[in-house]
Amino acid sequence: MAGRRHAARASSSFFPLLLLLLVAARLGEYAATAQRGVGAPAPAPVRVGVILDWASPVSLRRRTCIEMGVEDYYAAHPGSATRVELHFRDSAGDVVGAASAALDLINHAQVQAIIGPRSSAQAQFVAHLGNRSHVPVLSYSATSPSVSPTQTPYFVRTAANDSFQAAPIAAVLATFGWRAATVVHEDSPYGVGILPALAHALQSTGVGGASIVDRVPVPSDADDDALDALLNRLMGMPTRVFVVHATRVLAARLFRRATEAGMMSEGYVWVATDGVGTFLDSLIPEDVDAMQGVVSLRPHVEFTEKVKNFSARFRVRFRRDNPGSDDDAFNEPTVTRLWAYDTAWAIAAAAEAAGAVTGPAFQALQQRPSTGQTTDLDRIGVSATGVGLLRAVLNTKFDGMAGKFELADGQLQVAAYEVVNIIGKGTRTVGFWMPKSGGLSRELNGGSSNAPHLKPILWPGEPLSTPKGWTMSQKGKVLKVAVPAKRGFKQLVDVSPNSTTNITGYCIDVFDEVMKNLSYQVRYRYVPFPDSTESYDKLVDLVLDGEADMVVGDVTITASRLDKVDFTMPFTDSGWSMVVLARHDTTANMWIFLQPLTTGLWLASLVFFCFTGFVVWVIEHRVNPEFRGTPSQQFGLIFYFAFSTLVFSHKEKLESNLSRLVVIIWVFVVLILTSSYTASLTSMLTVQKLQPAVTNVAELLRRGHYIGYQEGTFIKPFLAKMGFDDRKMRKYSTAEQYAEALSKGSANGGVDAVFDEMPYLKLFLSQYCDGYMMQGPLYKTDGFGFVFPRGSPMVPDVSRGIMRLAERDEMALIEKKWFGEPGTCRTAPAVGSSDLSFQSFGGLFLITGVVSTLMLLLYLVIFTYRERDELRAAEAEADAAGSGSVSVRRMKAWLQHYDKRDLKSPTFKAWNEESPRNGGAFSRRTPRWNGDASQTPIGREEEHAMDGTSPLSVYISSEMNSDSSPEGMAMTPASETNESFEQRMDGAGASVEMGRQPASP
């Protein structure tokens, strides 16, 4: 509530108006008395005790708020049947005084409720007294979670629990990406109570949240020397984010000393709880100047007209009751004073709801064992109104000065917290946190989703950018980086035996490159760790014990190590497996010629061979004598023609362009298929294939073979869990030892398998690629990472640096420098890896299938169109002569007509026109004659003879043969019906050679 001093001066003009308001209130009381009537019963008194610290000027202002709360309630409810009577007591500022005041109120004043005391330490004991006597204790200022309504049911917190602000503090730290913070808290029940809630809130924030790296208690009565020593300790920490939870008096002294120590400068971050933000108006200007740049919290209170009116009346009332106070700046009502006002209103409303109690206020004294002496605690009675009054208080709801008054689990619920930045002489609100949304926003209603969570903040030292929140080289410290001293695989880390400063390797180059590209400078030096060969866990423990600031090397990320330290993201391949001896495969397979093609491809090829031959036969059957003959000859021709294309030995002349196009496409497919088959089979027969000497872990266990591992590795316990005997495991250090041990084998003092991580196995195989191979499953790990202390803020920066390095060429150049060209030695492909599948030729089969189908359909369309008249005539003859199903008869007629030669085709037309008797070109060919030499050349008679033997003909009756024969020509003998076309050609040729001339027509 900045600017209260100006508001106070302005309020003096409203002084006459306030007097009128007071007079109106008094008149309202008189009117209420008149309304009740002269004979009406007087309101039943409800005694309420108030414990304050008279030595503190704050208590005087809170007393005024409590009195005004009671008076305003009865002014608004003049007909109330009860009347709260306030009984004030002094706590003297300590726990004993507060307990004594509470006992006096209970035993002597017999109060039915208690308001106060001021601090959490005082309220803790008074709450137990109220619980014992069933007297509700309402506290508007004891905010520590150490005082819990769960443990003391008669304690009611009419203020915000300190644990409520743990979530907004964690949200502030997460907003700026700070992952580590130090908590500076007052060493009191008030200061300690927030720690569990704060730790839980930070952990619940997620990956982007912070963690508490240290907590520093500050005694309430610490002098300047103690504070300076504490701040010097904080200055030596790497973290620069400090969360302060202390009362305003101790916090003011702490920040003054921090300013003197230079810790309120650029790079430092101070986040204070509401112990600072709520009471900032009550601090002197010198204390506010020492807090410049501090971010704090305070419960949000809307400055409504009702609050403004109360503020004006409060100043008038306080000056009237305390004429010695002349500083209006301290007379502004704070959130705590508004809570005090609402608490008084709540107890008055609860007393009215509970109703008047007849009889004594306390029941009989509790019976105690007779010891001859009694104390004030032994004389405590039990309140007769406690249960009802407590229930009424918990159920009370109204719109108070500080917002909606509503209790849940005996505690006031806060609608929102303000995040304020201390600037100049006051504060500036930079954001809000609401329990419903659980997040920060610039405006109370949530604001724009695209806007940052908070408004710009002026940090200590007024930097232009948000502080990093930590420093690794505080006070010029050079960080100690531990590296493993290895005996083998020095491509990863190599420590020179003559100089401990000459450290090289792949891991070192990656780390140096990442640190060079950070946005800030980090000073460090490498320190070799010679005992790393025994166990890398000891190397990791150096960081845990504080002997090293980080570890750089081939350290694998494991779950057990993550419990101790933090790792960056991995910068190498992950997983571990085994390498075994490889031997040539000498087994012969008599069916190896089938292996180049998969079963699916073999079957698909067979189908397309038959389909292509069938399509060609259908197109050529009516126009080409080469595709006619007996059924067995034509079936054989279909298969022979298609399969002869494998070696391009087909000799049949094609007459149709449609069939030629089908064959052209099919020959191209066959060419690709046979070439691929030949290449694959040649590779299988000529390339030497390697087979692992050991195929799996089960074989090693079953045969009791020896196995090897690298010294210092984490893999050994996992091998023991697999069932390997410790006596069967041998450790090695170098790649040369791996090769020698594998070459010897278990029988000769070596091993049959070496288990190691992928980077080591790849290094080994790059050097010994002939005769060794990786085998078995890949066991998952997270690869190599750099080791940092738990909560180190450098981890995300270094991880981002590794990712950026991996996306650029620098990482590839580093790998090439130490590991050579990738893929220079690869394991021979396993058997079956070169098998050709149907998917490899799916496109070719699709093309030939589509073309063949289209040509077949096109031919059938042309045939149907050209022969439409003959087909109708054949259908008519079949319908007239036959019986049975019409569809079957017509189908037979179509097939019989299709089986006839197409005499209009160029082939048969040329045959008729150039017959031997005309001296044409065909006279030089061997003509096709009937069996009788006196007959004319075979014409339509042969056609009908062929009709009876075609595979498409169902039957041909003798009547159909006689009807289809030309007049004057002899019938083809029945004995020649089953003769092939070629056989008749041979017979006709023999007749010509014997000098027999054909008869004239």
Confidence of residue 322 (pLDDT cuts 50, 70, 90): confident
More confident residue, 960 or 293: 293
Q: Is 171 in contact with 439 (CB distance < 8 Å)?
A: yes
| List of residues 6+ apart from 862 with CB closer than 8 A | none
pLDDT at 179 over 90: no
Handedness of CA 196, 198, 204, 207 (dihedral sign): negative
pLDDT at 1 over 70: no
pLDDT greater than 50 at residue 442: yes
Which is nearest to 580 in space by CA: 729, 717, 739?
A: 739
Whether residue 491 has pLDDT greater than 70? yes
Is residue 127 over pLDDT 90? yes
Q: How far apart are CA 86 and CA 54, in angstroms?
A: 16
Tell me the average pLDDT across 210-219.
86
* CA atoms of 715 and 731, how far apart (whole Å): 11
For 266-305, b where at least 16 C-beta lie within 10 A, e where not — what string? ebbbbbbbbbbbbbbbbbeeebbbbbbbbbbbbbbbeeee
Give the residue carrying structure tokens 């004239």.
Answer: 1000
Asked whether residue 343 carries a pLDDT value surpassing 90, the answer given is yes
Q: Name the band, by pLDDT with cuts 50, 70 and 90, for residue 164.
A: very high
Rounded Cα–Cα distance for residues 957 and 43 (Å): 132
Mean pLDDT across the stretch 111-139?
Answer: 92
pLDDT, residue 376, reads 61
Whether residue 930 is predicted with pLDDT greater than 50 in this model: the reply is no
Expressed in angstroms, the distance from the first to the final Cα of the chain is: 134
Higher-scoring residue by pLDDT: 909, 181: 181
Give me the mean pLDDT over the 443-460 stretch: 76
Write down the pLDDT at residue 913: 53
Q: Which helix (H) or strand (E) holds 718?
A: helix 715-722
Question: β-pairing, 403-405 with 440-441?
Answer: unpaired
Confidence of residue 326 (pLDDT cuts 50, 70, 90): low
Cis peptide leading into residue 117 (ω within 30°): yes
pLDDT (0 to 100) of residue 9: 40
Average pLDDT over residues 744-748: 87
Which of the pair, 356 or 992, is modelled with greater confidence? Answer: 356
837: confidence class by pLDDT, cuts 50, 70, 90 = confident
- Per-residue pLDDT band for 668 (boundaries 50, 70, 90) equals confident
Secondary structure, 3-state, 260-300: HCCCCCCCCEEEECHHHHCCHHHCCHHHHHCCCCCEEEEEC
Residue-wise pLDDT tens digits, 814-831: 888 888 765 555 444 444
Instruction: Say how far apart CA 228 and CA 230 lie, in whole Å.
Output: 5
For a pLDDT cut of 90, what percent of the chain falls above it? Answer: 27
The per-residue pLDDT for range 778-798, each reduced to its tens digit, is 888 888 899 998 877 788 889
Taking alpha carbons only, the member of 170, 162, 148, 147 closest to residue 194 is 162
Provide the pLDDT for residue 929: 34
Cα separation, 22 vs 424, whole angstroms: 37
Query: Is the pLDDT higher at 260 or at 657?
Result: 260
Mean pLDDT of 471-480: 70
Q: For residue 329, which of 288, 299, 293, 271 has the smallest C-alpha distance?
A: 288
Q: What is the pLDDT of residue 909?
A: 63
Kindly tell me if the per-residue pLDDT of 77 is higher than 90. yes
| Tens-digit pLDDT profile for residues 531-580 | 666 678 888 999 888 889 899 998 888 888 888 889 999 988 778 888 88
When pLDDT is averaged across residues 524-530 and rounded to a whole number, the result is: 88
Query: Is the pLDDT assigned to residue 394 strictly greater than 80?
Result: yes
Helix, strand or coil for residue 481? strand
pLDDT (mean) for 628-642: 78
Q: Sign of the C-alpha dihedral, residues 576, 577, 581, 583?
A: negative
Residue 982 has pLDDT above 70, yes or no: no
φ, ψ at 467 (rounded to 5°): -60, 150
From the CB of residue 158, how many other CB atoms can be counted at a distance below 10 Å?
26
Does position 941 have pLDDT exceeding 90, yes or no?
Answer: no
| Residue 92, pLDDT above cutoff 70 | yes
Per-residue pLDDT band at 7 (split at 50, 70, 90): very low
For residue 992, the model assigns a pLDDT of 36
Beta strands 729-732; 753-757: pairing state: unpaired
Per-residue pLDDT tens digits for 227-271: 999 998 888 887 899 999 999 899 999 999 999 999 999 889 999
Cβ(723)–Cβ(701) below 8 Å: yes
Residue of 329, 316, 426 lying closest to 4 (CA atoms): 329
Gap between the Cα atoms of 632 and 43, Å rounded: 126
d(CA 510, CA 513) in angstroms, rounded, equals: 5
707-726: average pLDDT: 87
Place of tokens 């503190």: 56
Nearest to 1000 by CA among 921, 942, 928, 937: 937
Is 335 a residue whose pLDDT tops 50? Answer: yes
Work out the pLDDT band at 928, boundaries 50, 70, 90.
very low
Q: According to the model, what pLDDT value does residue 899 have? A: 79
Task: Categorize the per-residue pLDDT at 922 as very low, low, confident or very high, splitting at 50, 70 and 90.
Answer: very low
Mean pLDDT of 762-769: 82
Q: Is the pLDDT of residue 136 over 90?
A: yes
947: pLDDT strictly greater than 60:
no
Averaged confidence pLDDT in the chain: 79
Residues 423, 3: Cα–Cα separation, whole Å: 13
pLDDT at site 353: 92
C-alpha 912/C-alpha 940 separation (Å) is 11
- Say if residues 242 and 181 touch (Cβ distance below 8 Å): yes
User: Confidence band (pLDDT; 50, 70, 90) for 12?
Assistant: very low
Statement: residue 585 has pLDDT above 50: yes
How far is the C-alpha of 391 from the C-alpha of 389, rounded, in Å? 5
Q: Find where tokens 């792949």 sit.
A: 506
Q: Which band of pLDDT confidence, cut at 50, 70 and 90, is reported for residue 6? A: very low
For residues 200 and 439, give the distance between their C-alpha atoms in angstroms, rounded to a whole number. 16
| Residue-wise burial string across 959-987, b where 16 or more C-beta atoms lie within 10 A, e elsewhere | ebbeeebeeeeeebeeebeebbbeebbeb
- Which residue has better confidence, 254 or 906? 254
Please check the confidence at residue 377 and state whether its pLDDT lies above 50.
yes
Please give the Cα distance from 710 to 721 (Å, whole number): 17
The structure tokens listed for 380 are: 């405590």
Span 902-914, average pLDDT = 64
Query: What's the mean pLDDT in 839-855?
Result: 88
Task: Output the CA–CA distances (angstroms, integers) from residue 356 to 352, 360, 537, in the order listed.
Answer: 8, 11, 73
Average pLDDT over residues 464-493: 80
DSSP class per residue in 840-873: GGHHHHHHHHHHHHHHHHHHHHHHHHHTHHHHHH
pLDDT at 342: 96
Is the predicted pLDDT of residue 369 greater than 70, yes or no? no
Residue 606 reports pLDDT greater than 70: yes
Is residue 231 a contact partner of residue 257, using CB atoms and an 8 Å limit? yes
Q: Express each pLDDT in 566-581 by its tens digit.
A: 999 998 877 888 888 8
